[in-house]
Amino acid sequence: MTADDPVTADDLGAAGDPVTASGLAGRLGPYGLGTAPLAGLFAPVSEEQAEQALAAAWQAGIRYFDTAPHYGTGLAEERLGRFLRGLPGGAARDAVVSTKIGRVLVPGQGEEDGFPGRSGLVRVRDYSRDGVLRSLDDSLRRTGLDRFDLVLIHDPDDHWEQAAGQAYPALAELRDQGVIGAIGAGMNQAEMLTRFVRETDMDAVLVAGRYTLLDRSSAAELLPECARRGVAVIAGGVFNSGVLAGGTTYDYASAPPEVLKRARELSRICAAYGVPLPAAALRFPHRHPAVSTVLVGARSAEEVREDVDLAATPIPDALWQELDDAG
């Protein structure tokens, strides 16, 4: 098939038995690995470094991996696919992979959008039915997989009509046919995700940065709505892009002074209990019963192992109470 050939549901892989909608939350596991950093988000990452990070995650027992065409204009999908194909025997069958639709990659030159060292492709927003099918077909080619366990509508903030009117029905049809396992949406806001949950039949949402120690806005409506409807919640961006892990960035930009002040106060409270702030940030989303999985990003094996250690840090109830009072 060439880039100009029409794409149909038949091109997107055959029905299989990995993850289905009904078993999604149980298969994701408590932690998953996001692959945006492995595509060089904000700084280049070598092929070897990316492979070592993926191997460290696998060795730690992580089986859920989230990717997207947006990450490095396909580089994250390619690297994840090479790693999974290189696993011995049939081990790759244990992996649970989600990708996203909404940005179709086409030849051209443009902004790198945070991902250096990759050119020749540009992202075009497209939440149409044809865009969904083409994006998934391209993602299958880049990863070498024959099926995705979860497909998310990616950042449709200014595209509700097309995303809800075309992308969602196309994904629902593919799910009903068994071509993909489950469907959902991934965003950096809670309001539209709540609307998706109320007005469509989604299996999961990936909410980034909106249920953290610094921003609990998802707790108002999104998380209760997901709990009522049995929608799995994947919490991403738990460090708010760095400020809760000792950095100075918040939501992909320099943190405002008031945010830095709040982060320092949270760090002080944690230190009084002998707990690193990143450990509390990583563990926090699991306190809500609607959250099934916390998605973390790492750019090296060392960072993966650090996150694994943080996830195992004991946190006393008294600390949670004090953080709640301060929050």
Structure tokens at 239: 């460090």
By the 8 A CB rule, do 18 and 220 touch? no
- Three-state DSSP at 209 gives coil
Q: Residues in the chain, how many?
A: 327
Active site residue 261: no
Q: Please enumerate in sequence order all residues whose Cβ is within 8 A of that of 187, keeping only pairs 6 or more positions apart, or say none.
A: 154, 155, 156, 157, 193, 205, 206, 207, 208
Active site residue 66: yes
By the 8 A CB rule, do 58 and 84 touch? no
Question: Which of the following is catalytic: 64, 71, 127, 211?
Answer: 71
Question: Which of the following is catalytic: 64, 66, 211, 250?
Answer: 66
Question: Which of the following is catalytic: 64, 100, 138, 250?
Answer: 100
By the 8 A CB rule, do 181 and 127 touch? no
Structure tokens at 169: 């029905």
Amino acid 277 reads: L
- Three-state DSSP at 98 gives strand
Active-site amino acid positions: 66, 71, 100
